[in-house]
């Protein structure tokens, strides 16, 4: 069964989620991966969105955190201050799932500006709740397509803290959570090195070569001593994901 690079990325990300996870979900690719996990192997996963919806079970993917689908299918909805102060800062969310415009070798994310802050080449949407999610969730998963434009040697602005300058930088700043533990791309999966925290390729998707990964990354990317082969998507995973996207397309087309 054929599949796209984007589908491979979403499936690989979804497989990392577990029934017992309490997951703070970002819009877009993180939302697709989390809901694919919920519809396949992790039906009891607790999904939380920034608008305050807890244990939501959307039938279609939301356009934004304010999408009515999230509130309609949630167990409960709490005020945003309560979401951040009690749930997030209180240490009750085990996993945050984020995307970004740019990422560096230590998994720091930029969603603010490209170029000088005062005179940027590109003004990005901003961080929203991502900086707090990156700091306070038990661990962070990041999903982004691998490209030189997105995986850069130097960030002009750090919006969400990954592992900072590497090593024990998070600990030195007083952050007690694990930070990014995996970065899932359309070519491979990366994990921070246990000591340096530099992102390292640990699994390569079917049909992708090391040379392709090296060429697509904006820094000299490292490979683990033992690199796994990511299993291809199953028919069930692809059918479920495609049905989800088709329901979403129809629902949003009707709404428009």
Q: What is the pLDDT of residues 196-249, one digit of tens each?
A: 999 999 999 999 999 999 999 999 999 999 999 999 999 999 999 999 999 999
- Check residue 155 and report its DSSP letter: -
Helix spans in 98-227 (H) = 130-136, 169-172, 210-216
**pLDDT grade for 254, boundaries at 50, 70 and 90:** confident
Active site residues: 50
Distance CA 20, CA 45 (A): 6
Q: What is the pLDDT of residues 15-51, one digit of tens each?
A: 999 999 999 999 999 999 999 999 999 999 999 999 9
Distance of CA 150 to the CA centre of its chain: 14
Q: What is the pLDDT of residues 120-171, one digit of tens each?
A: 999 999 998 999 999 999 999 999 999 999 999 999 999 999 999 999 999 9
Q: What is the number of structural domains in the chain?
A: 1
For the whole model, what pTM was predicted?
A: 0.95
Cα-based angle 133, 80, 139 (whole degrees, multiple of 5):
15
**Which CATH number covers residue 36?**
3.40.1080.10
Provide the 10 A C-beta neighbour count for residue 196.
14
**pLDDT grade for 255, boundaries at 50, 70 and 90:** low
Average pLDDT value for residue range 81-92: 94
User: What residue numbers bound the domain in which 21 lies?
Assistant: 5-255
Distance CA 181, CA 95 (A): 10
Distance CA 23, CA 140 (A): 9
Provide the 10 A C-beta neighbour count for residue 194.
7
């Amino acid at each position: 069964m054929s599949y796209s690079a984007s589908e491979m990325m979403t499936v690989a990300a979804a497989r990392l989620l577990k029934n017992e996870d309490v997951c703070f979900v970002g819009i877009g690719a993180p939302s697709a991966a989390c809901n694919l996990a919920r519809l396949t192997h992790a039906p009891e996963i607790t999904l939380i969105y920034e608008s305050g919806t807890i244990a939501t079970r959307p039938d279609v993917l939301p356009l934004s955190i304010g999408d009515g689908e999230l509130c309609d299918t949630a167990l409960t909805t709490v005020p945003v201050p309560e979401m951040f102060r009690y749930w997030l800062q209180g240490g009750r969310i085990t996993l945050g799932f984020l995307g970004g415009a740019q990422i560096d070798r230590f998994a720091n994310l930029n969603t603010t500006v490209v170029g000088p802050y005062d005179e940027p080449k590109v003004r990005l949407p901003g961080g929203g709740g991502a900086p707090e999610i990156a700091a306070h969730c038990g661990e962070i998963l990041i999903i982004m397509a691998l490209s030189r434009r997105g995986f850069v040697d130097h960030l002009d602005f750090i919006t969400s803290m990954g592992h900072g300058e590497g090593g024990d930088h998070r600990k030195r700043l007083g952050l007690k959570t694990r930070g990014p533990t995996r970065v899932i791309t359309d070519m491979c999966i990366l994990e921070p090195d246990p000591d340096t925290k530099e992102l390292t390729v640990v699994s390569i998707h079917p049909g992708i070569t090391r040379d392709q990964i090296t060429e697509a990354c904006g820094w000299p990317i490292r490979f683990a001593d033992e690199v796994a082969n990511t299993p291809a998507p199953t028919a069930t995973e692809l059918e479920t994901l495609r049905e989800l996207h088709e329901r979403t397309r129809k629902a949003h087309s009707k709404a428009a």
